[in-house]
């Protein structure tokens, strides 16, 4: 069993979660915040059998697109960075995926 953590853009999250549930997967959506841009994103938790990892990755790839997003000088300056050292835009997404081994899962 694997647990996939997929960090996706808020604008893609509903479509990605719907597509996953349409394919029979169980999904939990968490509201999260990126540490660099300090703006909201969505983390999907997806528990699956080992042989389903590629199928889930393909669904995420289909529904999560890469975007240019403006970096927020105000938030970054709060971390002590100089304004002129910041890029004005960064490429974000489609999805950042972590695949974790699961020792045990149960529903009680
Ligand atoms: P953020 O941390 O808000 O990062 C947004 C985008 O800013 C990143 O897009 C990347 O292009 C850039 N970026 C992030 N940290 C940077 C840094 N230290 N220096 C220069 N540029 C940086 P993505 O890589 O597509 O990441 C999208 C979101 O996925 C991130 O939002 C974060 O919430 C999450 N994420 C990405 N990689 C992660 C990792 N290794 N561990 C934990 N979360 C991660």
Q: How far is the CA of 79 from the centre of ligand 1 (A)?
A: 15
In a domain, 19, yes or no: yes
Q: Is 87 in the pocket of ligand 1 (CB under 6 A)?
A: no
In a domain, 70, yes or no: no
In a domain, 106, yes or no: no
**Residue 10's CATH number:** 3.30.70.120
**Residue nearest ligand 1's atom 33 by CA:** 34
In a domain, 10, yes or no: yes
Burial 55-79 (b: 16+ CB within 10 A, else e): ebeebbeebbeeeebebeeeebeee
What range defines the domain where residue 28 resides?
A: 2-64+94-101
In a domain, 32, yes or no: yes
Q: 40 - beta bridge partners?
A: 33
Alpha-carbon distance of 17 to 20, in angstroms, equals 5
Q: How many distinct structural domains can be found in the chain?
A: 1
Q: Note down pLDDT in tens along the chain; length 108 residues.
A: 999 999 999 999 999 999 999 999 999 999 999 999 999 999 999 999 999 999 999 999 999 999 998 886 555 555 655 555 656 889 998 999 999 999 999 999
Q: How far is the CA of 106 from the centre of ligand 1 (A)?
A: 32
């Amino acid at each position: 069993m694997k647990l996939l953590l997929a960090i996706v853009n808020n604008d893609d999250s509903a479509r990605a979660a719907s597509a996953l549930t349409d394919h029979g997967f169980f999904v939990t959506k968490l509201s999260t915040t990126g540490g660099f841009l300090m703006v909201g994103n969505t983390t999907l938790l997806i528990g699956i059998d080992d042989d389903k990892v590629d199928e889930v990755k393909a669904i995420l790839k289909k529904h999560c697109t890469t975007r240019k997003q403006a970096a927020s000088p105000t938030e970054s300056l709060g971390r002590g960075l100089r304004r002129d050292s910041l890029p004005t835009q960064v490429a974000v997404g489609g999805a950042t995926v972590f695949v974790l081994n699961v020792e045990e899962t149960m529903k009680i």
